[in-house]
Amino acid sequence: MIHQAPYLFNTTIRNNLSIGNEKASEQDLWDVLDRVGLKKMILDLPEKMDTLVDEAGLRFSGGERHRLALARILLKNVPIIILDEPTVSLDPVTEQKLIETFITELQGKTLIWITHHLQGLSLMDQVIFLEDGKLQMSGNPQELVQSNGHYRKLLAIDQGL
């Protein structure tokens, strides 16, 4: 699961990643950092993967913390991933890049994405809208654009139109 504010522990980057898979090799760790787009940044740090992560990971940007959390999930190799508002506090450019990374790296897994923001929904197979605990609409995003005026209105609001 990746929360809207992923937690990183006050230890090294290596230890934060290894939580996902304690048996991961050095090469596994570098490979996953490359997959989530952090390898170059970590290589540029003086202590590389042995760099200490400040309490809650605040030395890293929001996008970097989300990418480290994704790296842990990729190391764990679980079939179902829950994303709970994973891009809520990110700027639009970082948000789009992170969504693309999620979609690419989590391909072939069941992805449950909880969000109030509609960016990235067009990449999903199925969307379900709940309001006051009740199902309001569901379907393939492309079909909903074609057939559901309320969905089109929500997309327009979300895009600031």
**Do 38 and 96 fall into the same domain?**
yes
Residue 118 has pLDDT above 70, yes or no: yes
The pLDDT tens digits for 86-109 are 877 777 787 788 888 888 888 888
**Domain shared by 105 and 135, yes or no:** no
Query: 156 lies in which domain range?
Result: 118-161
- CA 40, CA 155: separation in Å to the nearest integer? 35
Looking at the fold, whether 3 and 66 belong to one and the same domain comes out as yes
Indicate whether 65 and 139 sit together in one domain. Answer: no
86 residue type, one letter: P
pLDDT band at 149 (very low <50, low <70, confident <90, very high): confident
Would you state the pLDDT for residue 12?
Answer: 92
Final residue of a structural domain among 79, 97, 114? 114
Are 125 and 49 found together in one domain? Answer: no
Are residue 64 and residue 132 in the same domain, yes or no? no
Burial of 47 (0-12, 13-18, 19+ CB in 10 A): exposed
CB 127, CB 141: distance < 8 Å: yes
Q: For the ranges 14-18, 44-48, 96-100, 133-137, which has the lowest average pLDDT?
A: 96-100
pLDDT band at 155 (very low <50, low <70, confident <90, very high): confident
105 shares a domain with 26: yes
Residue 110 and residue 59 share a domain: yes
Q: How many structural domains comprise the chain?
A: 2
Of 99, 114, 129, the last residue of a domain is 114
Q: Residue 3: which of 57, 62, 83, 73 has the closest Cα? A: 83
Residues 23 and 65 in one domain: yes
What is the spatial distance between Cα 16 and Cα 95, in angstroms, rounded to a whole number? Answer: 23
- Tell me: pLDDT of 57 over 60: no
CATH number at residue 63: 3.40.50.300
The residue from 96, 114, 132 where one domain ends is 114
- State pTM to two decimals: 0.76
Average of per-residue pLDDT across 104-131: 85
Please check whether residues 62 and 81 belong to one and the same domain.
yes
